Amino acid sequence: MEISEKAPAKLNLSLDTPFRHQDGEPEWRMVMTAIDLSDYVHIKTIPNSKEITVQTNTGFLPCDQRNLAYQAAKLLQSKLDKPEGVEIEIDKHIPVSAGMGGGSADAAAVLRGLNKIWNLNMSREELAKLALTIDSDVPFCVYSEPALVTGRGEKITPIGPLPPMWLVIAKPQASVSTPTILRQIHEQHLNHQEVQNVVSAIKQQNFDKMCRHMGNALEPITMKKCPDIIKIKDKMLQFGADAAQMSGSGPTVFGISQKKSRATHIYNSLRGFCKEVYLVRALDSLTTK
């Protein structure tokens, strides 16, 4: 059987980590949204086989067990009574190593797709809990809708659509290693974020309040490795963004505007400064066009 799944990128409108668990893993408090910049994942199952293969249209990604989509297929394959192999083809559009969850989005797409093909009948909550064993962003990507994300990343609470807005996304040329950034977190030194205020602003459809309370506690850490982050933020605000910040562990920066005309101006102004620039909308759900 075959199926194709959309794998949207994610952005962090608010990100904080208040403490570490005893095993060293961070506790997260984040407001996340999916956007209409997506990879596309085609999944084909092969009867009487246990082989898993991954192909992509980019040479930057591993296609073996290091690939998160491969790991997702392996995880669900273990739940089958009879052997079936999996062929995965990934059409990449999400920038790699950008803090936008591209690999996690692909893994979540494989989980959703194989859940349907194999009639596993797992709920989104069950898939999200399972997805945490792959990466902390995969549970959110299973949902891919505006949500409060807590715990180690597996507790997903949908919060409804964002206020109407446009997003301009710019990725600096540098790439950042998420594990490297996470090792440098010292919770007592972080500028902790008002995550709940962002949640309430979204529920109230209060764009200005959301902009006032947005923030990313990891931003100062990543900025030391990638000074272009602050340059891009400053340019976005200079060109008229209502708010601008880094997503995830970086280095991608996004700016938001209520007006498409202003967002288009920001987009056009940044293209001469940054090679990878995108003008997108947020997704209310995976069915949002």
State yes or no: 98 annotated in a binding site: yes
Q: Where are the beta strands (DSSP E) in the chain?
A: 2-16, 28-47, 52-56, 84-91, 147-151, 155-158, 166-171, 215-216, 243-246, 253-257, 276-280, 282-283
State yes or no: 139 annotated in a binding site: no
Among the listed residues 10, 92, 155, 171, the single catalytic one is 10
Those residues whose C-beta lies under 8 Å from the C-beta of residue 119, and which sit 6 or more positions away, are none
**Alpha carbon distance 134, 275 (integer Å):** 31
13's tokens: 């409108």
State yes or no: 95 annotated in a binding site: yes
**Alpha carbon distance 260, 266 (integer Å):** 10
State yes or no: 103 annotated in a binding site: yes
State yes or no: 215 annotated in a binding site: no
- Whether 23 sits among the annotated catalytic residues: the reply is no
- Whether 284 sits among the annotated catalytic residues: the reply is no
DSSP 81-94: SS-EEEEEEEE--S
State yes or no: 250 annotated in a binding site: no
Among the listed residues 39, 137, 228, 242, the single catalytic one is 137
State yes or no: 280 annotated in a binding site: no
Q: Which of 88, 97, 79 is nearest to 51 (CA)?
A: 88
Q: What are phi and psi of 119, to 5 degrees?
A: 50, 45
State yes or no: 243 annotated in a binding site: no
State yes or no: 69 annotated in a binding site: no
**Alpha carbon distance 11, 37 (integer Å):** 11
Q: Where are the beta strands (DSSP E) in 104-261?
A: 147-151, 155-158, 166-171, 215-216, 243-246, 253-257
**Alpha carbon distance 189, 88 (integer Å):** 42
End-to-end C-alpha distance for the chain, whole angstroms: 25
Do 279 and 267 form a contact (C-beta atoms < 8 A)? yes
Binding residues: 95-105
Binding residues for ATP: 95-105
Catalytic residues: 10, 137
